[in-house]
Structure formats: C-alpha cells, structure tokens
A = this chain, B = another copy of it.
C-alpha cells in the first residue's frame, strides 16, 4: 500500500517543478524530499521521475500516479471535513486569500458577517495574487480563496481544487476625458500608451490579449497592479487601461469608463473535498451574501452550484 505522504510530495512536485520547492512548501530539506521520492519510486517498481537538466520531471507513469494521488487527497480532505462537522460548532482557523480589490469590496463585509455569526471562528485574511492561490491552497497555507479569470483568458481548472462561481463583472476601458469613444472602443485606443499589470499577472495578460483580439499590440508604458493607481494614471493623462467593475466604485474625475464585452469572473476556490467542511461552507455562504449586496455586479452562477466547478491552475 502506497504511502500517502510520499504521494503528496509527488503531487506537489508535479505542480512546483523542483524538489527544492516541494521541500520548502513542506518545510523539509531537499534531501528529505529526495529520499522520500526515491523510496516511493523504489516501492512503485517503475520510474516515476527522470532528470531533466538539473531538475527532475515526472514520467507519464508519475503523472498517472499524481492523478490517483489527487483522488486520495480529496477523499482525505472530505474525511477531515466530516470530522470538523462532527466536532460541531464552527470553530478553528479559516485562512482566506483574495486579490487586493476583492479584499476591500467582497471580503470585508463577509468577514464581518462571519465573525458575528460564528464567534468561535478565527479568521485570517491574506492578500495575494490569483496566480499564487493554487499553490497556497494545496500547501494548506490557505483554506478558501477568491480567484478570477477573464473570459478571453480562461485559466484551466486545477484537479486539486474545487470552486464555485461568485461574481461576473463588466470590464471597462478607462480613458482620459479628452478621448472620444467610438463604436469600437478598443480600436480607438490602439495607438495609446497602456497601463498594465506587472508581467506574470492575469491583469497583464488580459490587456495584451484584448489588444491582440482588436488587432494590435498595446504599447506598454506603465505597470500598476492597483486599479486605483491605474485610474489615477489615466486621470493624469498617462495612458489608458482596463479596470474591472469592482475597482471603479468611485472613479476619479477626468476618467471616462467605457464598458467592454470582456467579463471578469470571480470564483471561490478551496481544496477538493473541503467543500463539506463547515467553516468552508460558512465562508462560501457569507461571500455569496456579500456579493449579492454589492451594487452593480451581478451574482454569477446558480444559488448553490454543483461541486464539479473548476479551480484554477497557476502559471
């Protein structure tokens, strides 16, 4: 019978790419991980890893084993959830992660409601970029997280994670008041300077892709991840940028917001199997309530969506 701890290391290796990263995630030394994976391979009787330059990659068999590992870990997570439910009374720590603009608008009211309804619950919030969320959930640094993607830049689901839809927002093109929007707003700003997110973020990718769809390559002038900063730069005449609805509750003067067809979709993600955990379930309820109280943006998905929804995979 295979050792689940070792399977977990293999699973994490397939996501993190290097033994050193797996070691760090588990607060082990790389040596320990290397030894454990070697032992797993020995008892498997098949090659699971192979050196690829100075790193290791999984063989097809290794990848197949990872898929089984995901099932095992999800089942263990579900077992944990039933135990938490049996312990009764919502208690313990819930670590919630969210991207910056969601913290202010969505998370804060949800947090207040959760703290009021379940005083025994210890709530911890972490602000982080959506691309870092899957790893953080897998490594158990987070229990629940808000993630998003754009319809024109969808992210593939992560087998280790489950999620439910939360919000579906309009994305706006923010331009200076001197510009005159036309029927095709994106084309009208093809020669403008652009304010985009840092490379590697979704906000960066979506701007480039939106330009591509409109037939041009945006000229990147400024990098800003905070949408308030983006709007301020636009107001100062420094260029144009894309901002989602959540971020534009009070746009500065001198900025014109033109709705595009692009949608940003926010989801609540958690570890596969943890959906039955009472604290996770309560968090989902509170977040959905907070989202429905939000002006403007419409609630996404059905009221209680099925579990087969998708998580998101980093990188």
In the complex, A4 has a CB within 8 A of chain B: yes
| Proximity bits, A62-91, B CB within 8 Å = 1, else 0 | 001100110111011011101100110000
A159 to chain B, nearest CB (A): 13
- A4 and B72 CA atoms in complex are apart in Å by 10
Are B69 and A72 closer than 8 Å at their CB atoms? no
A260 to chain B, nearest CB (A): 44
Residue in contact with A82 in the complex, picked from B8, B65, B73, B79, CB distance below 8 Å: B65
**Chain B residues near A45 (CB, 8 Å)?**
83, 87
**Chain B residues near A83 (CB, 8 Å)?**
2, 44-46, 61, 65
**Chain B residues near A44 (CB, 8 Å)?**
83
A133 to chain B, nearest CB (A): 20
A68 to chain B, nearest CB (A): 4
Interface size for chain A: under 10, 10 to 19, 20 to 34, or 35 or more residues?
Answer: 20 to 34
In the complex, A1 has a CB within 8 A of chain B: yes
Asked, given contacts A1-B76, A76-B1, whether A68 binds B46 with beta carbons under 8 Å apart, the answer is: no
In the complex, A231 has a CB within 8 A of chain B: no
**Chain B residues near A80 (CB, 8 Å)?**
1-2
Asked, given contacts A2-B80, A46-B83, whether A68 binds B61 with beta carbons under 8 Å apart, the answer is: no
**Chain B residues near A8 (CB, 8 Å)?**
1
**Chain B residues near A76 (CB, 8 Å)?**
1-2, 4, 68, 72
A-B CB proximity, top 6 nearest: A68-B79, A61-B86, A71-B75, A72-B75, A46-B86, A4-B4
